[in-house]
A and B are shown apart, each in its own frame.
Chain A
């Protein structure tokens, strides 16, 4: 576990963020701009003086105001990739990459710099200077540079926000690589829901200097409106692509015991996917409908009906262990006489996100 608590007062802003997150996987730090995300990251990295500071990773303390513990930024060995890549302009790419690497004691170096350079496709850039690189290349170098410093924790502050769509797509595989191949806890700040779905395991929601919610991404999509923004309550189905139909542009995804069909862009077979479904895109019928335009009709059981809000009710459904939600009008709930325990058919309009 990573346990942290930071407090700091500014003239117009108060940071008081306390949280616990798993010491592995990607934790997304999500929140509106000005909510204090970057300040919190700087506190964690040891770049900011604070009034109260507590940080422990698996019971190793990096900050503890009470015990008078405060590791300096270089002592912490936390990698930090910034929005602006912050490559050193007077050094070649190779020297940038070596900067953190050569400060790691040789017996603690667990991977080979040359292998990583190949893995990140940087071989042809080594003799160039940062100003000769594109934005996407710079961020790739920045990522590789921070990994080479053998960090105990990797902090990514919107590393893709300055990149265009194509450059973002090109950077994903490297983030995936770091996530899957290196057992390294990552704190990732993002505004972009698509990025969150693609990369997140755990989520911290921050607002006005405080952590207001936290949990697994899959759970938090249902309950945290800030995360899904205008779309309201949503849920995630995880599965693997099993079949593609080029003619009709249909991808078949196996999600545990059930099958979903996605229309639109074809995905690759065996590709793991996360499918985000908004509760407002799920309708319910008591009998299986055969003459609907909706592709996916799943047999589910109602597990809970929430109290009405603005004329709508959130219905929680279950297929085995998988949770679904649907937003219906009070009128529909009454008309269909929906009750917990009742078996119903959910019609789902789904959009997929690659994972």
Chain B
């Protein structure tokens, strides 16, 4: 455990990429619904989406562990399709990360959709466009900045995840051992020099992603 491993880096990037894709698939309709819904259920659902922002990752991880276990409601459902366990597996990590990073994707998208506003959608509808046509011809092109922010925040936040992963993914080298946990291990073993390398890499990586996001966001907003 004293040499530099590359596996955790690959697992981390793979986890972040898959999580971001799943989040776009789930988060886009959810954000669209939140941006347009007038029902009284909207506010409680917004609050639930925002929960991972304030909950300690260990609390979230604890409940996920119970839900993903073979007797939990997600685990039971999963066992209908597969003999593998969800806990301490890569798929389990993806499910945990999706919930953990949900607000970082849904909130920018919702704001982006709301920003496009009703008036242009109404104009499009009077010109004969059906709702899904309005989404693809008006909403998407006018909220691509929001997608850019959502993708980069969702990705970066998943890369930086620790507590939830530890609770449900454990520390299985080559399978669920991500970068943040590797750093923790090295610190525990008092191998500060290696911890330094990983930490610095993660710091630079996160900074660069945020820098790109903010720069692009400003440039794009000037163009529009």
Residues of A within 8 A of B (CB): 42, 45-47, 72-74, 77-80, 82, 84, 86, 88-90, 99-100, 103-104, 145-146, 149, 155
B138 and A103: CB pair below 8 A?
A: no
A90 and B142: CB pair below 8 A?
A: yes
Total A-B contacts with CB atoms under 8 angstroms apart: 58
- Residues of B with C-beta under 8 A to A84: 119
Residue among B120, B126, B138, B141 making CB contact with A73, cutoff 8 Å: B126
How far in angstroms is the closest Cβ of chain A from B37? 14
A45 and B127: CB pair below 8 A?
A: no
Residue among A88, A89, A104, A146 making CB contact with B126, cutoff 8 Å: A146
Q: Which of B123-149 contact A (CB under 8 A)?
A: 123-130, 137-138, 141-142
B124 and A149: CB pair below 8 A?
A: no
Q: Whose C-beta in chain A lies nearest to the C-beta of B38?
A: A49
A79 and B126: CB pair below 8 A?
A: yes
Q: How far is the CA of A149 from the CA of B129 in the complex (A)?
A: 10
- Size category of the B interface is 10 to 19
Ordered by A's residue number, 16 sampled pairs between the chains whose C-beta atoms are within 8 Å are A42-B122, A45-B122, A73-B125, A74-B127, A77-B128, A82-B123, A86-B119, A86-B123, A88-B120, A88-B138, A90-B141, A90-B142, A90-B224, A99-B127, A103-B128, A146-B126
Residue among A45, A82, A100 making CB contact with B128, cutoff 8 Å: A100
Q: Whose C-beta in chain A lies nearest to the C-beta of B134?
A: A74
Residues of B within 8 A of A (CB): 119-120, 122-130, 137-138, 141-142, 224
How far in angstroms is the closest Cβ of chain B from A78? 6
- Residues of A with C-beta under 8 A to B126: 45, 47, 73-74, 78-80, 146, 149, 155
A145 and B127: CB pair below 8 A?
A: yes
- Residues of A with C-beta under 8 A to B142: 89-90
Q: How far is the CA of A99 from the CA of B137 in the complex (A)?
A: 9
Residue among A42, A90, A149, A155 making CB contact with B127, cutoff 8 Å: A149
B127 and A103: CB pair below 8 A?
A: yes
Q: How far is the CA of A221 from the CA of B123 in the complex (A)?
A: 34
Q: Whose C-beta in chain A lies nearest to the C-beta of B127?
A: A100
- Residues of B with C-beta under 8 A to A73: 122, 125-126
Q: How far is the CA of A86 from the CA of B224 in the complex (A)?
A: 15
Q: Which one of A47, A78, A86, A146 has the highest number of Cβ atoms from chain B below 10 Å of its Cβ?
A: A86
B123 and A80: CB pair below 8 A?
A: yes
If A47-B126, A84-B119, A146-B127 are given as contacts, then 7 extra A-B residue pairs at C-beta distance below 8 Å, sorted by A number, are A47-B122, A74-B127, A79-B126, A89-B224, A90-B142, A99-B124, A155-B126
Q: Knowing A89-B142, A89-B224, A90-B224 are in contact, say whether A74-B122 is a contact too (CB < 8 A).
A: no
Q: Knowing A88-B124, A88-B138, A90-B142 are in contact, say whether A74-B119 is a contact too (CB < 8 A).
A: no
Q: Which one of A46, A72, A89, A146 has the highest number of Cβ atoms from chain B below 10 Å of its Cβ?
A: A89
Q: Whose C-beta in chain A lies nearest to the C-beta of B122?
A: A47
- Residues of B with C-beta under 8 A to A78: 126
A149 and B128: CB pair below 8 A?
A: yes
Residue among B120, B128, B137, B224 making CB contact with A74, cutoff 8 Å: B128
How far in angstroms is the closest Cβ of chain B from A119? 19
Q: How far is the CA of A100 from the CA of B127 in the complex (A)?
A: 5
Q: Knowing A82-B119, A88-B120 are in contact, say whether A99-B224 is a contact too (CB < 8 A).
A: no
Q: Whose C-beta in chain B lies nearest to the C-beta of A47?
A: B122
B128 and A104: CB pair below 8 A?
A: yes
Residue among B122, B129, B141, B224 making CB contact with A103, cutoff 8 Å: B129
Q: How far is the CA of A324 from the CA of B53 in the complex (A)?
A: 74
How far in angstroms is the closest Cβ of chain A from B134? 9
> Which 10 A/B pairs are nearest by Cβ-Cβ distance?
A100-B127, A103-B128, A86-B123, A80-B126, A73-B125, A74-B128, A149-B127, A90-B141, A99-B127, A47-B122
Q: Whose C-beta in chain A lies nearest to the C-beta of B118?
A: A47
A74 and B130: CB pair below 8 A?
A: yes
How far in angstroms is the closest Cβ of chain B from A74? 5
